[in-house]
């Protein structure tokens, strides 16, 4: 860091040594990143957060006990469960928030944030992650579509208002218990009507919309995307799958970065100049950032110095 601000060169020179992009697609990626008329979209999922120590949502850490019954994440993260057991659902989310709070953005997050800064309005980040690490790394909220919400935000469950409210600061603490404290109940109720606040997340029994989850905007961006970089998502939810399909059908270049093959791998391999890279996002994304014109210029100056 220089002057308290992260510098692209710091990430590149700390994480890039020894890693080289396959030449078969690096030239095309460089061309698209440098073309002022080309649109670049990054799609991220749980894999990039896992590299910061946040367990994947479907892992064993997600299971929760209510009374004598054990529930899966797919059962806990529903409007139906919230309506029946709001205090238990909040206990689960606040416990998960503890994990998110302790995590730090990794090199992949910082590389995406720097792409956002360098590419400006021709860049969009579509993320399934609710952990806020992209925003903490420096991504613009205007160019970041948080299609599954953000665990830092709440809204009235009764919808007396549609406005989003920040999670109270006093709840953003390490938790020794999975139960709500008596003093926390009032903080989790709407100041307008007194109903429960709910986490601003997309639950399994809910649908994407534009107002909260940028459905139409995501499809619109995909329809204009020339380069789609997928990092750490396997395509288990519908909107990411639609985004990838739209980019593929329009002939865009797709790069899939994941530690294992997934639903998007073959589409990436068969897209023009695309590829599936079996490596971590924190390794590959800084290498992609190194192909951006401003970063290449900075790196050249650094080498001369």
Please give the pLDDT value at position 182: 86
The CATH fold of domain 8-52+106-149+208-304: Rossmann fold (3.40.50)
Residue 159 · residue 177 · CB < 8 Å: no
Spatial distance between the Cα atoms of 192 and 142, rounded to a whole number of angstroms: 27
Topology agreement, domain 8-52+106-149+208-304 and domain 60-102+154-201: no
Sign of torsion over alpha carbons 192, 162, 148, 67: positive
Please give the pLDDT value at position 3: 34
Give alpha helix (H) positions in 150-252: 210-213, 215-222, 238-249
Query: Would you state the structure tokens that stand for residue 295, as one six-digit string?
Result: 């970063």
With tokens 């924190």, the residue in question is 282
Neighbour-count burial of 290, counting CB atoms closer than 10 A to its CB (0-12 exposed, 13-18 middle, 19+ buried): buried
60-102+154-201 placed in CATH 3.30.1600.10:
yes
Domain boundary assignment for the chain: 8-52+106-149+208-304, 60-102+154-201
Q: For the whole model, what pTM was predicted? A: 0.91
Please give the pLDDT value at position 37: 97
Active site residue 85: no
Going by C-alpha positions, the residue among 286, 234, 228, 230 that lies closest to residue 260 is 234
**In the 8-state DSSP scheme, what is residue 276?**
E
Q: For the packed helices 281-289 and 107-119, what is the interaxial angle rounded to 10 degrees?
A: 30
Please give the pLDDT value at position 31: 94
Point out the residues of the chain with pLDDT beneath 50.
1-6, 8-9, 12-13, 15-18
Q: Residue 35 belongs to what H/E stretch? A: none
pLDDT tens digits, 124-183: 999 999 999 999 999 999 999 999 999 999 999 999 999 999 999 899 887 777 788 888
Please give the pLDDT value at position 23: 73
Please give the pLDDT value at position 75: 86
Neighbour-count burial of 297, counting CB atoms closer than 10 A to its CB (0-12 exposed, 13-18 middle, 19+ buried): exposed
Which position among 15, 109, 134, 148 bears the catalytic label? 148
């Amino acid at each position: 860091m220089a002057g308290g601000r992260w510098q692209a060169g710091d990430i590149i020179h700390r994480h890039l040594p020894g890693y080289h992009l396959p030449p078969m697609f690096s030239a095309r990626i460089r061309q698209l990143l440098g073309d002022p008329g080309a649109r670049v979209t990054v799609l991220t999922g749980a894999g990039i957060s896992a590299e910061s120590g946040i367990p994947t949502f479907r892992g064993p850490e997600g299971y929760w006990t209510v009374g004598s019954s054990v529930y899966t994440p797919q059962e806990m993260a529903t409007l139906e469960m919230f309506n029946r057991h709001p205090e238990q659902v909040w206990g689960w989310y606040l416990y998960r928030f503890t994990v998110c709070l302790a995590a730090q953005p990794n090199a992949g997050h910082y590389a995406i944030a720097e792409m956002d800064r360098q590419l400006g309005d021709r860049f969009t980040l579509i993320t399934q992650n609710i952990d806020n690490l992209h925003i903490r790394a420096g991504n613009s909220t205007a160019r970041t579509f948080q299609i599954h919400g953000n665990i830092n935000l709440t809204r009235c469950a009764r919808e007396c208002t549609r406005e989003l409210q920040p999670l109270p600061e006093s709840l953003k603490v390490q938790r020794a218990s999975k139960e709500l404290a008596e003093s926390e109940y009032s903080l989790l109720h709407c100041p307008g009507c007194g109903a429960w606040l709910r986490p601003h997340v997309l639950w399994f029994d809910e649908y994407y919309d534009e107002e909260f989850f940028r459905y139409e905007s995501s499809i619109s961006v995909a329809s204009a995307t020339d380069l789609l970089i997928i990092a750490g998502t396997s395509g288990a939810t519908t909107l990411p799958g639609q985004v990838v399909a739209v980019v593929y059908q329009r002939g865009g270049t797709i790069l899939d970065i994941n530690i294992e093959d997934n639903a998007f791998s073959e589409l990436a391999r068969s897209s023009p100049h695309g590829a599936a890279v079996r490596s971590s996002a924190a390794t590959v994304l800084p290498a992609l950032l190194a192909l951006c014109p401003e970063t290449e210029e900075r790196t050249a100056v650094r080498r001369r110095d």
